Amino acid sequence: MNFFALVNPGLEKICQQEIKELLGGKVLMSPSLVEFELPALSQLPIIISRLQSPRRILVSLGKYTDLEEVHVESLPFPWSDFLPAQFSFKIEVLNVKGMDNRIELARKVAGKLFPVLEKQKFIPQLEMKKPDFLLVLFYNGTEYCMGWDCCGQEIDARDYRVFPHSASFKGDLAYYFMRLSGFKPGEKVLVGFVRDGGVAIEAALWAHNLPVRNAKAYSYLKFPAFSHVPVSSSSLTTSAPVSSTLLSSTTTLSTPPTITKTIVHGFDPNGQSIVAARKNAKIAGVANILQFQKCALDELDVRYAEGEFDRLIIHLTTKDEDKLNELYYQATYVLKAKGTLLLIARSGLEITAPDKFMIKEEQEIARGESKYKVWVIGKK
């Protein structure tokens, strides 16, 4: 079964890597889109609960350079596995400018879809407010990608961010920065300034193969193929009767061995941020593998041991930019030889690495109106 993972711009490569680590096999990448295959639909809950980089996960109805090429009646799609006899849905058109253009595209898709569904004895109904399903039409700049949304909503935000910070990141971007640092399970990482804890929490979830979201809360459970399947976040198989051969497979997801001693550390000089981060970590279920300390940047050399960390991830806002020299001094102390400093700051900031460091990579990434500059800096 083919699927699309829609991602925010700049996260395509890490999403491709993440899916390969979990599934193996062939994973294709194009702007804001990653394509992959699930050998068995029973693996879908695990994919939904664990993937940290996508904003949507769609079961594919194909890619088209022109919507006139869409011939719904000839699609090799098992409609009865994904749609009940009677259902409501909404057509969501994404990445197309202009409300009128989006409405026209939605009308075209509906005009092609309704006759085929009605011919197969389905009773579909368009519903704008609370539909059972979302049919997503996404334009990536060259092709229209169409599919049923398995979650019914965007999943790049996180439910654990009950106590958010205005200078923090959505979950997918926090995950991206964490992976960009080169952090691996079993290493020691220090995150500052933690603010609402997003980057540190994403690191803890990934290092311990823990679910990032509750897969029991999404619209895929209304797919008839799941009507007799008990959903578990820890099991890939079921002994209960299933309604589709799509669910049957001996293929399992590949799970890297969990390093149970991976403890993620974080600091912030603001006590309120530490409290918020700890509360969010508890909601995420990782409070026991995170250690947050209230301390200033210039106190790291008295709070931590020399050469204690493999990775240091720092997000500097504009008001912290005058602390760059102090940051390098502290990084020299707390990082191991060949350790990595990931520095996140505003777009437009220019830096130079001191003698004991070298800039390995530099990039910019935009999210809405916010633009960030990121440096991967290695300690010599």
Quote the Cα angle for 90-48-365, to 5°: 85
Handedness of CA 169, 174, 177, 183 (dihedral sign): positive
The rounded radius of gyration (Å) of the Cα atoms in the chain is: 23
Separation of alpha carbons 327 and 314, rounded Å: 9
Surface-to-core class of residue 129, CB atoms within 10 Å of its CB (0-12 exposed, 13-18 middle, 19+ buried)? exposed
**Residue matched to tokens 């991976």:** 262
Separation of alpha carbons 236 and 151, rounded Å: 18
Reduced to 3 states (helix: H, G, I; strand: E, B; else coil), residue 143 is coil
pLDDT 10s digits, 201-257: 999 999 999 999 887 779 999 999 988 655 444 333 332 233 344 444 333 455 544
Tell if the pTM clears 0.85, that is, is over it. Answer: yes
Residue 209: left (phi > 0), alpha (psi -120 to 50), or beta? left
Q: What is the mean pLDDT of residues 109-117?
A: 94
pLDDT 10s digits, 15-63: 999 999 999 889 999 999 999 999 888 889 989 999 999 999 999 999 9
Separation of alpha carbons 35 and 3, rounded Å: 6
Paired tokens of 180: 């960009």
pLDDT 10s digits, 296-343: 999 999 999 999 999 999 999 999 899 999 999 999 999 999 999 999
Number of alpha helices (DSSP H) and beta strands (DSSP E) in the chain: 9, 15
Cβ(321)–Cβ(349) under 8 Å? yes
Confidence at residue 230, expressed as pLDDT on a 0 to 100 scale: 54
Does the domain at 171-211+258-379 match CATH 3.40.50.150? Answer given as: yes
Domain ranges within the chain, ordered by starting residue: 2-149, 171-211+258-379
Bridge partners, 139 (sequence order): 144
Does the domain at 2-149 match CATH 3.30.2130.30? Answer given as: yes
Separation of alpha carbons 49 and 42, rounded Å: 13
pLDDT 10s digits, 193-214: 999 999 999 999 999 999 998 8
Cβ(82)–Cβ(224) under 8 Å? yes
Reduced to 3 states (helix: H, G, I; strand: E, B; else coil), residue 261 is coil
Bridge partners, 377 (sequence order): 341, 359
Q: How many Cβ atoms sit within 10 Å of the Cβ of residue 245?
A: 12
Cβ(36)–Cβ(19) under 8 Å? yes
